[in-house]
Amino acid sequence: MSAQGARIGVVTFPGSLDDRDAARAVRLAGAEPVALWHADHDLKAVDAVVLPGGFSYGDYLRCGAIARFAPVMQEIIAAANQGLPVLGICNGFQILCESHLLPGALIRNDHRHFVCRDQRLQITNNTSLWTRDFELNEEIVVPLKNGEGGYVASDNVLDELEGEGRVIARYLEVNPNGSYRDIAGITNARGNVVGLMPHPEHAVEPLTGPTTDGLGFFTSVLSSLLQGAAR
């Protein structure tokens, strides 16, 4: 398959906000964005899926808690377990944790404020399907914006994630939300499901983002698809 032909789904839940941005990032990376609707049991045969940021169902209960039960998520959970590349950004990360596709959970920021800032990160895994275009330990800057972005998990889980190299990015300089061990993003054991709190889709154009560092996540999955690494 050629990367040009790659079709990447972007899910819209009621309350999704960064779905347009995610679709733009997919397009700028060279793939075709495909809109997926929360209420459909239909993945439209896409090659990968992005769960975008936002406040699905208002996120009044717990971020991602209700979205996890959406019809489209049943399909995504099944497909992810078969190896479909899935990227969860911010609310998408929360949904992946709530769905138990990724371990741990995200809680209210330790300083209890919503925070929007240009965040320096270190990429600490370049083998997952969504991070292979980065250099190991490469430093990037992408926007971060969340109110409930504190990554928490038990010590066992944290040790396991670190031991297996499954922390994909860490916060540098400032830990903006009290995440345990400065964790900004993680992957599953297979490397196809990645979740992170910062927003790479907001760093894809010099005009509107602090950098274009975010593109790497989207080009990575295209490289992965091209190399047949996915599925």
Partner 1 sequence: MARVVVDVRLKSEILDPQGRAVQGALGRLGLNGVTNVRQGKQFVIDIDGELDAAATEKLHEIAGNLLSNPVIEDYELSVEQA
Partner 2 sequence: MSRHVDTVTNAANTPDLEQPFAELGVKPDEYARIREILNRRPTNSELAMYSVMWSEHCSYKSSKVHLRQFGDKKPDSDAMLVGIGENAGVVDIGDGWAVTFKVESHNHPSFVEPYQGAATGVGGIVRDILSMGARPVAVMDPLRFGPADAPDTARVLPGIIAGVGGYGNCLGLPNIGGEVVFDPTYLGNPLVNALCVGTMKHEDIHLAKASGIGNLVILFGAATGGDGIGGVSVLASETFEDGGPAKRPSVQVGDPFMEKLLIECTLEVLHAGLVEGIQDLGGAGISCATSELASNGTGGMHVYLERVPLRDATLTPEEILMSESQERMCAIVPPENAEKFLEICAKWDVVATVIGEVTDTGRLIIEWHGEVIVDVPPRTVAHDGPVYERPYHRPTWQDTLQADAPTADRLKRPTTASELRDTIMTMTAAPNLASKRWVTDQYDRYVLGNTVLAQPEDSGMVRVDEVTGRGVAVSTDCNGRFAKLDPYNGAKLALAEAYRNVSTTGAVPLAVTNCLNFGSPEDPEVMWQFSEAVRGLADGCLELGTPVTGGNVSFYNQTGDVAILPTPVVGVLGVIDDVERRTPMSWKTDGDLIYVLGTTADEFAGSEWAHEVHGHLGGLPPGIDLKLEQALSQILVACSRDGLIDAAHDVSDGGIMQALIEMALRSGIGARVWVPDNLDPFVFAYAESATRAVVVVARSEEQRFIDMCAARNFPATRVGVVDSAAAAEPALVVDGVYGDVLTLPIAELADKHFSTLPAIFGPTVG
- Residues labelled as active-site residues: 90, 199, 201
Site residues for partner 1, 95-124, by CB under 8 A, read 97-98, 103-105, 107-112
DSSP class of residue 214 equals T
The single residue listed with the structure tokens 């911010």 is 90
Residue 51: strand pairing partners: 88
Q: Are 8 and 50 in contact (CB under 8 A)?
A: yes
Count of positions on this chain that bind partner 1 (CB under 8 A): 25
The answer to whether residue 159 forms part of the interface with partner 1 (CB under 8 A) is no
Among 3, 77, 107, 115, binds partner 2 (CB under 8 A): 115
Cβ atoms within 10 A of the Cβ of 220, count? 22
Q: Are 79 and 44 in contact (CB under 8 A)?
A: no
User: Residue 30 and residue 22: Cα distance in Å, rounded?
Assistant: 13
Site residues for partner 2, 42-61, by CB under 8 A, read 53-55, 57-60
Report the partner that residue 213 touches, choosing among partner 2, partner 1, none (CB closer than 5 to 8 A by kind). Answer: none
Among 7, 20, 62, 231, binds partner 2 (CB under 8 A): 20
Of residues 109 and 224, the one with the C-beta less far from partner 1? 109
The answer to whether residue 69 forms part of the interface with partner 1 (CB under 8 A) is yes
User: Residue 201 and residue 184: Cα distance in Å, rounded?
Assistant: 15
The answer to whether residue 149 forms part of the interface with partner 2 (CB under 8 A) is no
Token reading at 155? 């010590």
Draw the binding track, 49-68, toward partner 1 (x: CB under 8 A; -: no contact).
--------xx-xxx--xx--
The single residue listed with the structure tokens 């992946």 is 96
Report the partner that residue 103 touches, choosing among partner 2, partner 1, none (CB closer than 5 to 8 A by kind). Answer: partner 1
The answer to whether residue 145 forms part of the interface with partner 2 (CB under 8 A) is yes
Q: In a 3-state reduction of DSSP, which class is residue 150?
A: strand
Ramachandran assignment for 196, one of left (phi > 0), alpha (psi -120 to 50 degrees), beta (any other): beta
Q: Which residues bind partner 2 (CB under 8 A)?
A: 14-15, 17-18, 20-21, 24, 53-55, 57-60, 111, 113-117, 143, 145, 147, 173-174, 176-177, 199, 201-202, 204-205, 207-209
